[in-house]
Amino acid sequence: MTDKLIIFDTTLRDGEQSPGASMTKDEKLRIARQLERLRVDVIEAGFAASSNGDFEAVKAIADTIKDSTVCSLARANDRDIARAAEALRGSNRARIHTFIATSPLHMEKKLRMTPEQVLEQARQAVRFARNLCADIEFSPEDGYRSEVDFLCRVLETVIAEGATTINIPDTVGYAVPELYGHFIKTLRERIPNSDKAIWSVHCHNDLGMAVANSLAGVKIGGARQVECTINGLGERAGNCSLEEIVMAVKTRRDYFGLEVGIDTTQIVPASRMVSQTTGFVVQPNKAVVGANAFAHASGIHQDGVLKARDTYEIMRAEDVGWSANKIVLGKLSGRNAFKQRLQELGIEMESETDLNTAFAKFKELADRKAEIFDEDILALVSDESVTP
Ligand code: KIV
Ligand code: ZN
């Protein structure tokens, strides 16, 4: 089994399905270029058959991007698949991602099809797609809520027809980590030809567990592709977040034992670009890309970080694209952090007494003001009682 984890980014397809996150062709192309700089393995550029606009966006991305595989979603029918193939024609690494729902609920109420009809449609779709493209991904939509015996039959069939990646969506974010991980494991163990395909996880965040579920799918289930989006953008509560999954696997390489090909220094620029393009603000306490993800406000933490950063940092801010970590000066800050900031501002205190006086003034000000900025410190030390 390969020890590389394939990062499949679907910001431009599933992310765009987030209400209010619709993007123009040019915006999508700009983000696709950033995803290529980030070195994601697969960019799902859109759903070519869904509109002429999305067809043009997928086509522009397929014609431009060279270092990542470019993928289009397609329902399991000839028209969608042919349209996807046409949009992807300019790509040197194209993938068609076809899907059909397999859960009893979706088959009966949404598709109004019998399981046998669904099985046959999946077979025909993958057979048709395989004649147009070598790289075929198949997803049983609402896969996690599907009946295992039936799902095994469908997946064995599509692998026999040439599907190269099998993706198991937790479409409605219903899974919990251990169960999802074992679900993937069971499928892989029960399907005789399962090792002919790469297994993939696709988790939604309705219960806030998309990243945890994806990691369990990798660790317990043996999946080697994760589908994710920048900032966790996506339908309803979103998808598994790229920055979290990538940094989890990298930071805990001791546990996961997997490589990712991502240039992590491009994570924050990608997050900002997606946020600015969609207008979706990133919450300050968001892991990895939130403004506070590497900020320290408490005096004890600031003192620790100034002595050795790994006392309170498990990753480097610079490694994910921040210029530095951040010591936020305020009422909880200690003398050490204050002294360090004076040095950074080029201010030298003539004596310990001057430093103590300045620190006392700083503390007094900090009780009145939530955050002390560099300008506040400069004003404070230019006061006559303290020599700058
Ligand atoms: O969530 C889902 O089921 C999907 C599929 C189309 C892969 O996005
Ligand atoms: Zn999805």
pLDDT for res 178: 98
Q: Closest ligand 1 atom to the C-alpha of 239? A: 1
Ligand 1 site-directed mutation target among 141, 155, 158, 229, most atoms within 8 Å of CB: 141
In sequence order, the 6+-apart residues with CB closer than 8 A to the CB of 79 are 49
Q: Could you tell me if the CB of 141 is within 6 A of ligand 1?
A: yes
pLDDT score recorded for residue 386: 47
User: Atom 5, ligand 1: which residue's CA is nearest?
Assistant: 141
Closest-CA residue, ligand 1 atom 8, reads 14
How many whole angstroms separate alpha carbon 49 and alpha carbon 101?
18
Give residue 110 CA to ligand 1 midpoint distance, Å: 15
Please indicate if the annotation marks 204 as binding a ligand.
Answer: yes
Q: What are the residue ranges in the chain where pLDDT is below 70?
A: 1-2, 383-388
Residue range 83-96, pLDDT digits in tens: 999 999 999 999 99
pLDDT at position 2? 55
Atom of ligand 1 nearest to the CA of 172: 1
Which ranges constitute the DSSP H helices of the chain? 25-37, 52-64, 78-87, 104-105, 115-130, 148-160, 177-190, 210-219, 242-251, 253-256, 267-278, 299-307, 335-344, 352-366, 374-381
Q: Which ligand is nearest to the CA of 47?
A: 1
Is residue 36 within 6 Å of ligand 1 at its C-beta? no
Tell me the CA–centroid distance for residue 193 and ligand 1, in Å. 23
- Tell me if 202 is assigned to a ligand binding site: yes
Distance of alpha carbon 241 from alpha carbon 203, whole angstroms: 10
In the reported structure, the alpha carbon of residue 382 is separated from the centroid of ligand 1 by a whole-number distance in angstroms of 60
Rounded distance from Cα 141 to ligand 1 centre (Å): 6
- Supply the pLDDT for residue 384: 47
d(CA 123, CA 106) in angstroms, rounded, equals 18
Q: pLDDT at position 382, please?
A: 81
Stated pTM of the model = 0.94
209/173 Cα distance (integer angstroms): 8
Query: What is the length of the chain?
Result: 388
Instruction: Report whether residue 202 contacts ligand 1, using a CB cutoff of 6 Å.
Output: yes
Q: Is the CB of 137 under 6 A from ligand 1?
A: no
pLDDT tens digits for range 126-161: 999 999 999 999 999 999 999 999 999 999 999 999
